[in-house]
Amino acid sequence: MRHRCIVILVCLGPFIAACNRELPQTDRGSAAALSGVRDTLIRMGAEDQRGRDSIPAAVAHNDTAFMQRLARGDSSRSRWLQRVVATRGWPSRSTFGDTAAGAAWLIVQHSPMIEFQEAMLPVLEAEAREGEVKPTDVAMLSDRIDVNRNQPQRYGTQFSLKGGKLIADSIVNLTGLDSLRASVGLPPMKQYIKLMAQMYRMPVEWPPVRGNAFKR
């Protein structure tokens, strides 16, 4: 049986360490007004990451209760962020700080609301051009949307769990993949696979075996 495994290489150390970073002081009044949103984003970012590395074990043990709790949390955080974006726009790094902005990306990346993800992709692309969002984050969201729509991904960031190992979802073009990844700041696949294997403590199939990669 195939299970989607959202493969997000997030370094939790810097994420947690940055939680005490102050908002920019360019506008003290607005910083005070936005502090509640910032604090909620940071809390939700931590909630998003909590237990996510246990997904493979939960799938292996058919722990449906765990997966349902995870899905409910993802849905709740998505709806909250959708309201924030509708009223304030995307939570930018320059306004909310790196940690809160990174949490916003985690929420949309893990959102079960595909239409929300698709609506946010051009927003994040524009934010990336202004230096407010990392190009790696845009690439990973793009791959996630493609896989959700049963389309081949471009950057090779998304894998699914099958038969006790992670297998890459279909990729548009393996030739030059590392060059494409480098253009947005993603590590070479060899390094990426090693990190995934360490994070999820399970084998990762790479390169794709003909007929075994997930396709449309």
Give the whole-angstrom CA distance, residue 94 versus residue 52: 28
Q: In whole angstroms, how large is the CA radius of gyration of the chain?
A: 17
For residue 161, the surrounding DSSP H or E stretch is: strand 159-162
Mean pLDDT of 34-45: 94
Confidence class of residue 212 from pLDDT cuts 50, 70 and 90? low
Q: Which of 137-170 are b and which e, b meaning 16 or more Cβ less than 10 Å from the residue's Cβ? A: bbbbbbbbbbbbeeebbbbbbbbbbbeeebbbbb
Mean pLDDT of 152-157: 97
All residues at 6 or more sequence positions from 123 whose CB lies less than 8 Å from its CB, including other chains: 85, 90
Q: Which two tokens stand for residue 126?
A: 């524009």
The count of C-alpha atoms lying within 13 angstroms of the C-alpha of 138, restricted to the half-sphere facing its C-beta, is: 18
Place of tokens 């959708």: 82
Confidence class of residue 213 from pLDDT cuts 50, 70 and 90? low
Mean pLDDT of 136-148: 97
Mean pLDDT of 158-181: 94
pLDDT tens-digit readout, 41-97: 999 999 999 888 788 778 778 899 999 999 999 999 999 999 999 999 999 999 999
Give the whole-angstrom CA distance, residue 140 versus residue 125: 12
Cis before residue 207, ω within 30 degrees of 0? yes
Bridge partners for 166 per DSSP = 161, 204
pLDDT, residue 162, reads 87
Cβ pair 163, 209 in contact under 8 A: no
pLDDT, residue 60, reads 77
pLDDT, residue 19, reads 37
Q: Which two tokens stand for residue 73?
A: 């949390």
> DSSP label at 4?
E
Give the whole-angstrom CA distance, residue 187 versus residue 143: 15
Helices 64-88 and 98-109: crossing angle in degrees, nearest 10, is: 120
pLDDT tens-digit readout, 108-139: 999 999 999 999 999 999 999 999 999 999 99
pLDDT, residue 23, reads 41
For residue 95, the tally of other CB atoms under 10 A from its CB is 21
